[in-house]
Amino acid sequence: NPNKGEKLNPAAARRNGEARGVLGLPPPTAMAPALAAAPPPPPRPLLSSSPLLTTHRIPRRRRRFSPTTHLDAAATARATRAADPVEALTATSYPAYDRLLPCPSKDDPPRIEHLVAREDEVAGDFISRSLNLPPLYVADLIRFGAVYYALVAPQPPPYAAPEHVRIFREVTEPSLLRQRASIKGKTVREAQKTFRVTDPSQHLEAGTYLRVHVHPKRFPRCYEIDWKSRVVATTDDFVVLNKPAATSVGGATDNIEESCVVFTSRALGLESPLMTTHQIDNCSEGWFVFCYQLI
């Protein structure tokens, strides 16, 4: 090969062309049009981290808007683009779902949805219809402790979209709040306190706010542990557990099911779950003391 900047002499160029002809390769100048005309490779399909989560497309259909309000940017954009204020074409997709178990090895991207019921609703049906989620998925989210409610919607953050602020002002109008029997005797701050939804059939009064953690944090390590062998000691009042790493003692904000409390209680055959007396970080391993009841 010649050095950089050095030109090939005619003999070397001729030998280079003869070698390409023996190998069946076209000259470099003949390859340029073929490369330019070659189509680009097809894009690779997106894969989900969970074997149970695969994209499922719902057919496009015309439907009436629900009287409920969905406080997310996508719903706001759809409502803004709708030419007909009563009916609009919608096309949505949601993960095809069996159960939250088996636990995936990786967490799905965080997704938190905020909802406000504009009329009396049933929690499970309302969430399933508003977010296009399978009812069984919603029921398991509630069982995992991933759904919260408040009688009155909390104050939007400073970076909230103008549409969100407008909806907040509508549902917290003082004249409307005075008509609601559930918040009589409570301050607005007290009514904005959140609690977990514990039953899919829970009744929601018009104006009730919901926060749904659609992709809860998972703890796959819980299913790899022989929990009974990790129990160090049991007494009439306490249970000492050698907590494994990568597990949560009492659960996360959106997952109270996959925790040391639940799995240890099951391993010991207890009818009511144990209670925590202190805390250890999820990444830590060490002895932890549970009690049967708080004194």
- How far apart (Å, rounded) are the C-alpha atoms in residues 63 and 90? 8
Both tokens assigned to 23: 């190998």
Return the HEC string of the chain.
CCCCCCCCCHHHHHHHHHHHHHCCCCCHHHHHHHHHHCCCCCCCCCCCCCCCCEEEECCCEEEECCCCEECCHHHHHHHHHCCCCCEEEECCEEEECCCCCCCCCCCCCCCEEEEECCCCEEHHHHHHHHHCCCHHHHHHHHHCCCEEEECCCCCCCCCCCHHHHHHHHHHCCHHHHCCCHHHCCCCHHHHCCCEECCCCCCEECCCCEEEEECCCCCCHHHHHCCHHHHEEEECCCEEEEEECCCCCCCCECCECCCCHHHHHHHHCCCCCCCEECCCCCCCCCEEEEEECCCC
How many other CB atoms are found less than 10 A from the CB of residue 107? 14
Active site residue 281: yes
Could you say which of 98, 120, 237, 281 is catalytic? Answer: 281
Distance of alpha carbon 169 from alpha carbon 182, whole angstroms: 19
**Distance between CA 156 and CA 279 in Å, rounded?**
31
| Residues tagged active-site | 281
